[in-house]
Amino acid sequence: MMIDFRYRVLDPVKAFSLTQREVKPYLLDEASGHRFVVPTDDKTGPLRQTSRAPKKGSIYFMFFANRGKTIHAGSKVTIVIGDFKAGGLTVE
């Protein structure tokens, strides 16, 4: 039901926008074009890690809702976080 996306910060300045609460990330299924968003829990808020100052070497995460289990191992996806795009990723 969820896709777990993790990334390591190599350059905190470039990674700044990736960890901001105001930026709404989504996962794009390259086969269907469907968008999957980060769900929000009433108690914990969005299911993603945020930081006002990302740290070099730290690993951050976000979960994307996989309603209908459309995304599966081997699916090709693109992660979009504001102006940042990472395409051609293969789901494990």
Mean confidence (pLDDT) of the chain: 93
Tokens of 24: 């709404």
- Tell me the whole-structure pTM to 2 decimals: 0.88
What is the Cα–Cα distance from 53 to 17, expressed in whole angstroms? 10
What is the Cα–Cα distance from 31 to 17, expressed in whole angstroms? 27
Q: What is the pLDDT of residues 6-50, one digit of tens each?
A: 999 999 999 998 998 899 999 999 999 999 999 998 888 889 988
For residue 9, the model assigns a pLDDT of 95
For residue 67, the model assigns a pLDDT of 86
